[in-house]
Amino acid sequence: MTQSDEEKARILWHSAKNVFASYKHLDALYGAVDENFCEISFKHDGDNFTGDQSNCPKDGHFDSDWVNLVWSSHANLRAQKKKGRPKLVGTVSAHLMLADGGDADLAPDWTWRGQPCLIAGWHEEGSRMASEWDDGGYWTVDWFDPTDEDSTGHISAGGKCIWRYKDEMGLDLKTGFFVVPIFDLTSEEDLEKHVFKPLIRLFQGASEDDAFPEDSPAVRTAK
């Protein structure tokens, strides 16, 4: 049975109303993500780590003049030793994804599909992803296009909260991402607790159990 024009019109109407009702939350969430990436700062092994967005890609996906289903932000992570110039040690990426443009029947069985979410990814310098791919190791939105087998075939569950890059050599422990439903991020405190602190702890060498809080909503998206 095909949808009637009246059914399609009703679905479009309610979808547009739902997005309009949520736009203030979405604007605030994306603004906080982008701002925090610029202000990342922490210490590890005596070095000062900072984030910057110079020369970072600004990408979107599944978009048209009417709607963009994904908004992305990236930052380089640099370590400043006592002497010398800051050294690039990795990147972090965030994708605020309302939906994807894939056919549900063809898509991989990712547990976060079907809900708006924030995808937070990272790679450390020296990872295979950084050396093998033209994007330099950023988790660009193309990786999450469910119809792109070349990209999605490299994504594999890698722990309680984490998904990782995988090729014929196995899981790359220097590259990964986790997913948090956006309605678990209702304040900057939530964003700090469930996204930025785990990212920083992972770069500081913490185990997955130590990096994420016990009540992390990322657990629900990695089963």
| Residue 154 confidence (pLDDT) | 84
Q: How far is 74 from 79, CA to CA, in rounded Å?
A: 17
Q: How far is 215 from 185, CA to CA, in rounded Å?
A: 13
| Residue 119 confidence (pLDDT) | 94
| Residue 136 confidence (pLDDT) | 59
Nearest 5°: CA angle at 29, between 90 and 17? 135
| Residue 85 confidence (pLDDT) | 80
Q: Which residues does residue 177 pair with via DSSP β-bridges, in sequence order?
A: 121, 163
pLDDT in tens, the chain (223 residues): 456 777 877 887 788 788 878 888 888 888 888 887 777 777 766 677 777 776 666 655 555 566 778 888 888 888 877 777 888 888 889 999 888 766 656 566 777 877 889 999 998 877 776 666 555 568 888 888 877 777 778 888 888 899 988 877 788 878 899 999 988 998 999 999 999 999 988 888 888 889 999 999 998 877 6
**Considering Cα of 184, then 185, then 187, then 188, what sign does the dihedral take?**
positive
In terms of Cβ atoms closer than 10 Å to its own Cβ (0-12, 13-18, 19+), residue 44 is middle
Query: Domain residues of the chain, as ranges?
Result: 5-221
Three-class SS state of 74: strand
| Residue 221 confidence (pLDDT) | 78
Please give the distance of CA 16 from its chain centroid, rounded to a whole number: 24
Structure tokens at 14: 């309610």
| Residue 1 confidence (pLDDT) | 42
38, containing H or E segment? helix 5-38
| Residue 57 confidence (pLDDT) | 61
